[in-house]
A and B are shown apart, each in its own frame.
Chain A
Amino acid sequence: MSTISTQLRNFKEPTKDQLTHVFFSIPEAPPVPAKDKEKHGSGEVETMEINAILSLGAQGVEDSYAGKLYLLPPYLAFSSLDRKSVRFTLPLSTVRRVERLNARAGVYALSLSTWHGMKIIVQLTSLRPTADLFCSLLREALKVELQRGQMKAVKGFVKTCYSEGLVSASGVSENEREDGSLITETKDGSPPPEVEFHGGLGLQFKFPGDPKKLREASKIKLWTTYLKNHGRNLTLLRYPQCTRLVQVGLPNRLRAEMWETLSGSIYLRYSNPGVYHQVLLDIEGKSSTSFEDIEKDLHRSLPEYAGYQADEGISALRRVLQAYSNRNPEVGYCQAMNILAAAILIYMSEEQAFWLLEVLCDRLLPGYYSTTMHGTLLDQRVFESLVARCLPMISDHFQEVDVQLSVASLPWFLSLYINSMPMVFAFRIVDCFFCMGPKVLFQVGLAILKINGEKLLQIQDDGGFLNLMREYFASLGDSAHPESADPRARAITRFQELLLISFREFAVITDDTILSERRKYRNEIVNSIESFNKRSAVRNLKTLGRFTKDQAGFIYDALYKAMCEVPPPPTAAPLPLLLTTANEGNQERVETRIGLQTFRVFLSEILTWARNERIVINGFQQRIDREVAEHELIVRLFYFWDESCKGSLSFQDLVYGLDGVMFNDLMENIEWFFNLHDKNKDGYLTKDEVLTLSESFLFIFRYEIGDAYLGAVSKFMTNAFEYGDSLLPHQTDGETGETGPQQIGHNQPYLNLATFRMVVLADEVLESFFETDLSASFRLDPVPDLELPPASSGFLGDLWSNIATQDNKKIFHKLSDELGKTIGKHQILYRPIIGRLTKLEEPTARESLISPSSIKTPLSGGSSDTLAASNSSSTLVVDALSNQDNDGPSSALASAAFSPMPHFRAVNAAFMERTPFAIDDAGDDDDDDSDLEMIDVDNDDQVMDEVDAFLEAHDSGLSEADKELAKDLLNASPVK
């Protein structure tokens, strides 16, 4: 694989706002059409949060909860203080009426009615002006929604949701009537065309599992009641009961809608009508490597399910996977996505599945399916650390016998347990996952290990571990306490036990835990992925040339660094693919190739004359500022190495190119330099090319001290033209009697290699340049860091040691420069590239020589004489070789500490603490479970018992007085 990606370096920690959006499953960048921006002056949607107490408008159904109300147009969201008991995310377009309530003095309360007549009351408990501001912003935001016509879209959209039929069929027709009276705006609009509710393959091919055993009917009943009182789909309010009902397993028919509601993908589907079908149109007739991979796996996705033995299932799966891979080419297609997609398509329509897949891959499982799979690796690392913390005995034992946790746990996470457990059980974990978020995967994983703790302590190798897990998963349907005398205890399955332990004992694993653990290990994972990629890139080189692996690795590092600074343009995937011939292995992903800009940076890393090094002395510090040099010679080198003429260079091209120059002896270097300037490769330089070549010399020698190099170059030119002319067939000009140069054009073949060589060798300075300096100017050692730390540890020195981070450096440098200038000690020198000559002469003379004007002046003829003259008058100071053979930028700075990129390796010591639920007391906990109220009566009660098992204390965050007040509000009348 020759793809090099710097994508992992672009990671940014999410901001607080982003986290809020994620928490409420609000899609990124809510669409604000341009015309609305104009209407409202400011394009920015005003967001605001405010303290509030939420009460449900129906008497006695739910407690009131204190929390925060967020206006995040086009959504209104609420979360209870504990962030888990109660929350909702309401699209503003579902709100039909907002009234200020007439209440006791000092109480500011709003009543909101949704399109189906559900009433919620929020008491704004912040200060009055804040509350006023919130109200006015809310009013504005609602107006915007009204003008966008979103209010009308609601009714059509909810028809696609199963719950609507559920609540109306069971006689809640008064909702319909009631909402008719509330909704005035939609009266004029023609009723939207009848759309059937969205459903999956299961409707046709049956749902997995035995409906009786799953107690579908009871669950539906419970849900119907819940949804009637608490809203549904777009308007669902999530109270503790909702979570508990999810924990006992969603009924099949409701699963699609609940999954998309709980995960928030419903908001994507709602706000992007028609997009899925547009994507399908877009990809018609397209092909890509992702599509090929998808095709391979279509018949290999839940093949035992009837729907995937039929064409309907296969084509639906193909469309959804292709559509997603097209929408997110960065991810494309990853094996395991086929299993997820196949699983959700049993319950969901294609469109629902498409959006859910997006939420899954982008938000819930970030980076899991990317080409580097860094998210997967990261979460495995996080899981490992959580095991070490929560189950230290198991972790220690695994370490002792060298068993890797992720051989088993990686597929758990990657396929949401669907690939590991019987489907009916896996789907229940998936239910919880969408409801409670990614932490569920960790909680379940920990519980699995804990339950099997004793046996795990016996295993000796990876294989034993996997076998044990396989047996355990196969037994999930069995009783957890088969020996128990109590029938209620016997009725508890091992799966129920698993969930109970997951959510009770590992409740300490919160979203925040996961986030902070991820933060801790991210760099470690990125580093290991990058070094792995480096090793395989080096290994996959067709030829290393004469380089060692380490040297090739260094070239890779330089390339990588350059790519981080100047990312290459995104590879136009289809084009190079078409260009490669079949036998070149078109299966191979597109090769990473860099453009000229990246090349410049790359070259500046390893080639001394491709960078400018300014030594800055300001009295406080001495440092070297490095910048990338710009010159036509570098462009020339770029195209010289681009042997396949693609206008870009691959890692291999760079290795090959460097190999062509770094190992050369005198003669080879002369030839290399000649070829570099012989554009049409005819073995001759034209006159123009001779001039360009001279410019190249001047560029390379631009910072050399003294006039020796300048002299050498002018001598070179004089000689080159002299010899060149003398070798031309002599023709006598009729008028002047002169022979020579004017006979041939500036772009005619003029100077061949032999002549060039002779001219070069005629000069001592050039000879030594080609002998050693040219090859030596390419260096495959790390460029030493740029600071020479302040020698004198004055106050700036101390300051320096305190603030020395990458970010601060620039500021510090600027500061010390400014200070240096004020005290007149600021000084900049350019560091010589070759540095053979050490006598300091005035730099200004040299500067002017490399300025274009001096070069562009016709150098043939008279002007070269002046140059030659200056040569004769200047003094050559060539240092003794003994002093110089080690010379060059790197050794000159050898004393300066080379500090590589700061390593953020996390310290593992943090895991010494042990938590109370160590494996040691596993036995006791198991007994607790049998105390659960499990009454062996069939129908609804049984489900309710299970629901009760998940009962947790829910803190409404309110005092008794507050609760009273909240109750009063239910009867309050609107303010006139």
Chain B
Amino acid sequence: MTDAASGSVDRSVQVKLVLLGEAAVGKSSVVLRFVSNEFQANKEPTIGAAFLTQKCRLEDRVLRYEIWDTAGQERFHSLAPMYYRNAQAAVVVYDVTKATSLEKAKSWVKELQRQANPNIVIALAGNKVDLVQTSPSSSGSSPSPESEDEADDATATPGEAPSASGGEPESLRQVPREEAQAYATEAGLLFFETSAKTGEGIVEIFTEIAKKIPIEHILASTRGSAGRSAGRVGGARQEVNLEEQQSKKDACNC
């Protein structure tokens, strides 16, 4: 597989992406879902980092993600720069059932914004969202009601959408969607709630990142130009992304 990838110097653009986040939030599971559409209930903790690749088609372009899945435990922290150096994208993962994992995610974002490549595209992913959903209704293959929910959360009344906002399963939830969304907007991050288990939101992350990546820059292979990162105002971009997300769900076919 290496040969195929490195041998053909076609239109594909390489994008280095790093996954960061507290231990056991599901980083490796997210990658596994994206790369081979699988889920393993008991994945071994990542030691150091794992490396995987996956192609992703976006309009006329092919992106080749080089994914670095890092170890989550605090003491591995000092190794992280080795993996995020030169990364063009990062997915910072937290676990929606664990409030502290969002704190850790925030500190990763802070570190990336200060230490990493200035043009890095960062996505925040609240994983394990399957644990806080009513299982039979939402696992039924349609992520679309979820996306609508996202778009106008405020207007959805409990009466109209009893399945999505039912009270009991939410009891496991420790990070309200709104809180994370608000933080992501403020920090200029893409934001998704995901489930590596059901596959919800996984492909979307990578698609949206692909759209946001300044591909011309990578092609020109010149880094720098700090001016571009000034557009990190967040709010406006976030909206655009949310709209696009609905239309291009299966942009990634690999």
Contacts and interface: CB of A to CB of B under 8 A. Distances in A.
A467 B2 contact: yes
A461 B5 CA distance: 12
Contacts of A297: 23-24, 45
B48 A467 contact: no
A425 to B, nearest CB: 17
Interface in A527-560: 529, 532-533, 535-536, 539-540
Contacts of B114: 539
Given A334-B73, A467-B2, A536-B111, A419 B23 contact: no
B47 interface: yes
A299 B42 contact: yes
Contacts of B73: 293, 334-335
Nearest to A303: B42
A183 to B, nearest CB: 48
A461 B51 CA distance: 12
B111 A414 contact: no
B45 A410 contact: no
B218 to A, nearest CB: 14
Q: Which of A302, A303, A529 has most B Cβ within 10 Å?
A: A303
Given A536-B111, A539-B110, A587-B100, A407 B49 contact: yes
A402 to B, nearest CB: 9
A336 B79 CA distance: 15
A415 B44 CA distance: 12
Interface string B65-108: 01000011111111101110000000000000001110110010
A372 B43 contact: no
A225 interface: no
B127 to A, nearest CB: 14
Interface string A590-613: 000000000000000000000000
A370 to B, nearest CB: 8
Nearest to A582: B99
A866 interface: no
Contact of A583 (B46, B48, B71, B99): B99
A297 B24 CA distance: 8
Contacts of B46: 335
Nearest to B50: A466
B1 interface: yes
Given A338-B45, A540-B107, A466 B51 contact: yes
A414 B48 contact: yes
A336 B47 contact: yes
Given A585-B103, A587-B100, A464 B45 contact: no
B151 to A, nearest CB: 29
B74 A589 contact: yes
B103 A373 contact: no
A301 B110 CA distance: 31
Contact of A335 (B23, B40, B43, B78): B23
Nearest to A296: B24
Nearest to A535: B115
Contacts of A971: none
A529 B66 CA distance: 27
Contacts of B76: 335, 373
B158 to A, nearest CB: 27
Contacts of B24: 296-297, 300
Contact of B78 (A404, A468, A532): A532
A808 interface: no
B45 A411 contact: no
B208 to A, nearest CB: 23
A466 B41 CA distance: 25
Interface string A279-320: 000000000000001001101111100000000000000000
A371 B114 CA distance: 24
Nearest to B110: A539
A301 B44 contact: yes
Most A CB within 10 A of own CB, among B22, B79, B111: B79
A335 B43 CA distance: 13
Contacts of B221: none
A703 B100 CA distance: 51
B155 interface: no
A299 B45 CA distance: 10
Contacts of B110: 539-540
B176 to A, nearest CB: 13
B195 interface: no
Contact of B82 (A404, A411, A468): A404
A694 interface: no
Contact of B2 (A303, A370, A464): A464
A462 interface: yes
A462 B51 contact: yes
Contacts of B40: 303
Contact of B6 (A302, A415, A464): A464
Contact of A372 (B72, B78, B82): B78
Given A296-B24, A462-B51, A587-B103, A1 B74 contact: yes
B194 interface: no
A302 B75 CA distance: 21
Contacts of A1: 74, 77
Contact of B75 (A296, A334, A536): A334
B51 A586 contact: no
Given A293-B23, A460-B6, A539-B111, A339 B53 contact: no
Among B53, B74, B81, B82, residue most surrounded by chain A Cβ atoms (within 10 Å):
B74
A531 B24 CA distance: 28
A43 interface: no
Could you say which of B6, B47, B72, B114 has the most chain A C-beta atoms within 10 Å of its C-beta? B47
A406 interface: yes
A463 interface: yes
Given A468-B2, A536-B111, A539-B114, A373 B44 contact: no
B6 A300 contact: no
A86 to B, nearest CB: 37
Interface in B96-155: 99-101, 103-104, 107, 110-111, 114-115
Interface string A563-580: 000000000000000000
A398 to B, nearest CB: 14
A536 B77 contact: yes
A300 B42 contact: yes
Nearest to B51: A466
Nearest to A529: B78
Nearest to A585: B103
A301 B42 CA distance: 8
Contacts of A588: 100, 103
A419 B44 contact: yes
A680 to B, nearest CB: 36
Given A464-B6, A583-B99, A339 B83 contact: no
Contacts of B115: 535
A465 to B, nearest CB: 9
Contacts of B66: 461, 463
Given A462-B51, A539-B114, A587 B75 contact: no
A551 B40 CA distance: 48
A32 to B, nearest CB: 36
A373 B82 contact: no
B111 A410 contact: no
Given A293-B73, A540-B107, A419 B53 contact: no
Given A339-B44, A536-B77, 5 more contacts: A299-B41, A335-B47, A369-B75, A467-B2, A583-B99
Q: Which 8 A-B pairs have the closest CB atoms?
A: A587-B100, A303-B42, A466-B51, A410-B48, A411-B47, A411-B48, A296-B24, A335-B45
Interface of A: 1, 293, 296-297, 299-303, 334-336, 338-339, 369-373, 377, 404, 406-407, 410-411, 414-415, 419, 460-464, 466-468, 471, 529, 532-533, 535-536, 539-540, 582-583, 585-589
25 contacts: A297-B23, A300-B24, A300-B43, A300-B44, A301-B44, A303-B42, A335-B71, A335-B73, A338-B45, A339-B44, A339-B45, A370-B75, A372-B78, A407-B82, A414-B47, A419-B44, A463-B66, A464-B2, A471-B2, A529-B78, A536-B77, A539-B110, A582-B99, A585-B99, A587-B101
